[in-house]
Amino acid sequence: QRKQEEQRRQEQRERAQSELSQIENVGMIDFACFTGMEQKGSGSFKLVYKATYNHPQAGATVVAILRVRGSGSHGTREEVLQEIRFFKELGRHDNLLDLRGITVEPASGDYCLVTEYAPQGSLDQVLNRTYEEDSTCSPLVLLEAAMQICSGMVHLGLHQVVHRDLASRNVLVFRWNPDDHQTGVHVKIADYGLAVMASRGYGGVQGATVSTAGSTARPIRWMAPESIARRQYTDKSDVWAFGVTMWEMWTYGQVPYGAITDDEMVGQRVGEGLRLPCPSVCPPGVYDVMQACWRERKIERPTFSELKGMLRQQYDQALLELHSGGREAAQVDQQLCVICMEGEAQWALVPCGHKCLCVACKERAASNRCPMCRVSPTGVVRIF
């Protein structure tokens, strides 16, 4: 019986390797290399596990294993291959989830995607935990996370990929310090299960429209009017979803249109012009960005590149307000460090020249982007 089981596993590996041969640079991993499997979540189509990957050369690494239900026999197998193609097409980006390899679960024969593991979980979980702890996040932390999501979406757009399911539940959190906007935030976009290529090949038209008439499961509360009514998806429908994701962030995980229980009614009301209200802790300028994402005509919505600039303006404004408030509270004439808001700012970053750091914070800040202008520094100098 043991010999038969080993033979079956070998046949599964060979079949998977054959089907994946068309996709270069995606390695097959023997399921026996994983230990300490712990289920972390489940959905209609996927089971998510945390596991230790024991690599023969690199040693032990904690990874996430996304097992796609029913992919071992038929049906969803092509969808798995499609998701792998997206990973390969997109390459590596600091704000997109990284694929480590593929494995096959022996008992079911299901395909599994092996990805990096996000220790903090998904963004909606982080937001809900913050709310339940009766805590808050610095406005700069929320803006930094929003800019990172936007950066990942810009990369998707460069490869003409329409995500179609952007939401806080599909953003994974690798670092989250609610008070540290400099080094305490790192998020990545995940779950390309609904994604589609807006245009095949490199000769396609940027912003092309994709119709998905056969689709059934739809995240209506995050969807643009044209997606709800005509099942049309573009980068501009992703922009709409990004605005809803921002709204989730500033409400600490509230359900969009939570007062309306029926999804189809939500779709109808959105088509009639209903929009999400301004969150109570949201600055007017940030809500203006959300509203720009929810313009009725998709051509009037900003691009993700434009959104990056709009968010950076809000970030700079929040930083100046924080700095100004700290000075008034301290009732001192000297300029305060923009990171700790306590020490005197005597150090400037090179080459931008912003004198904004105290002696205690200068070394840590020198390895990150300037908190004032977001330029990468080459060093720090003291200015008297």
Q: Measured between alpha carbons, how far is 179 from 313 in angstroms, rounded to an integer?
A: 20
Percentages of the chain per state (helix, strand, coil), in multiples of 5: 40, 20, 40
Which ranges of the chain does DSSP label H, i.e. alpha helix? 2-20, 77-90, 123-132, 139-158, 225-230, 235-250, 263-271, 284-293, 304-330, 362-366
* Gap between the terminal Cα atoms of the chain: 79
- Strand order of the β-sheet with 347-350 is 355-357, 347-350, 379-382
Per-residue pLDDT of 45-78, as tens digits, reads 778 999 999 988 888 999 999 888 877 665 566 6
Nearest in space to 28 (alpha carbons), one of 78, 102, 98: 102
The pLDDT score that the predictor gives to residue 143 is: 97
Per-residue pLDDT of 109-133, as tens digits, reads 888 889 999 999 999 999 999 999 9
Angle at 96 between CA 206 and CA 300, to 5 degrees: 35
- In this structure, the answer to whether residues 108 and 234 fall within a common structural domain is no
- Report yes or no on 322 lying in a domain: no
Nearest in space to 358 (alpha carbons), one of 329, 322, 334: 334
Per-residue pLDDT of 232-259, as tens digits, reads 999 999 999 999 999 999 999 999 999 9
The pLDDT score that the predictor gives to residue 77 is: 66
Q: Measured between alpha carbons, how far is 93 from 277 in angstroms, rounded to an integer?
A: 33
Which ranges of 159-262 does DSSP label H, i.e. alpha helix? 225-230, 235-250
- In this structure, the answer to whether residues 165 and 307 fall within a common structural domain is yes
- Please report, rounded to a whole number, the percentage of residues in the chain having pLDDT higher than 90: 50
- Report yes or no on 63 lying in a domain: yes
SS3 33: helix
Give the CATH number, domain containing residue 356: 3.30.40.10
Nearest in space to 195 (alpha carbons), one of 72, 50, 71, 85: 85
Number of Cβ within a 10 Å radius of residue 312? 15
- Eight-state DSSP code of residue 138: -
Structural domain count of the chain: 3
For residue 27, pLDDT beyond 50: yes
The pLDDT score that the predictor gives to residue 193 is: 58
Angle at 22 between CA 21 and CA 23, to 5 degrees: 90
- Report yes or no on 318 lying in a domain: no
- In this structure, the answer to whether residues 202 and 221 fall within a common structural domain is yes
Last residue of a domain, one of 94, 116, 138: 116
Amino acid occupying residue 129: R
Domain that holds residue 352: 332-382
SS3 204: coil
Q: Measured between alpha carbons, how far is 193 from 256 in angstroms, rounded to an integer?
A: 22
Give the CATH number, domain containing residue 304: 1.10.510.10
Tell me the pLDDT band of 194, cut-offs 50, 70 and 90. Answer: low
Question: Are 50 and 116 a contacting pair, CB within 8 Å?
Answer: no
**What is this structure's pTM?**
0.77
Q: At what angle do helices 235-250 and 123-132 cross, to 10 degrees?
A: 20
- Report yes or no on 65 lying in a domain: yes
Mean pLDDT of the chain: 83
E strand or H helix at 159, and its extent? none
Q: Is 165 a catalytic residue?
A: yes
Return the residue matching tokens 């090949």.
Answer: 201
- In this structure, the answer to whether residues 225 and 267 fall within a common structural domain is yes
Which pairs with CB-CB distance under 8 Å and at least 24 residues apart come from 354-363? 355/383, 356/323, 361/337
The pLDDT score that the predictor gives to residue 187 is: 98
- Report yes or no on 193 lying in a domain: yes
Per-residue pLDDT of 298-349, as tens digits, reads 999 999 999 999 999 999 988 888 776 544 444 334 577 777 767 788 878 8
Give the CATH number, domain containing residue 85: 3.30.200.20
Per-residue pLDDT of 200-239, as tens digits, reads 332 333 444 444 444 456 899 999 999 999 999 999 999 9
Q: At what angle do helices 284-293 and 304-330 cross, to 10 degrees?
A: 170
The pLDDT score that the predictor gives to residue 14 is: 64
Last residue of a domain, one of 90, 116, 142: 116
- Report yes or no on 375 lying in a domain: yes
- In this structure, the answer to whether residues 225 and 292 fall within a common structural domain is yes
- Report yes or no on 145 lying in a domain: yes
- In this structure, the answer to whether residues 238 and 144 fall within a common structural domain is yes
Catalytic residue among 110, 124, 165, 191: 165
- In this structure, the answer to whether residues 228 and 296 fall within a common structural domain is yes
Q: What token pair was written down for 365? A: 């800040």
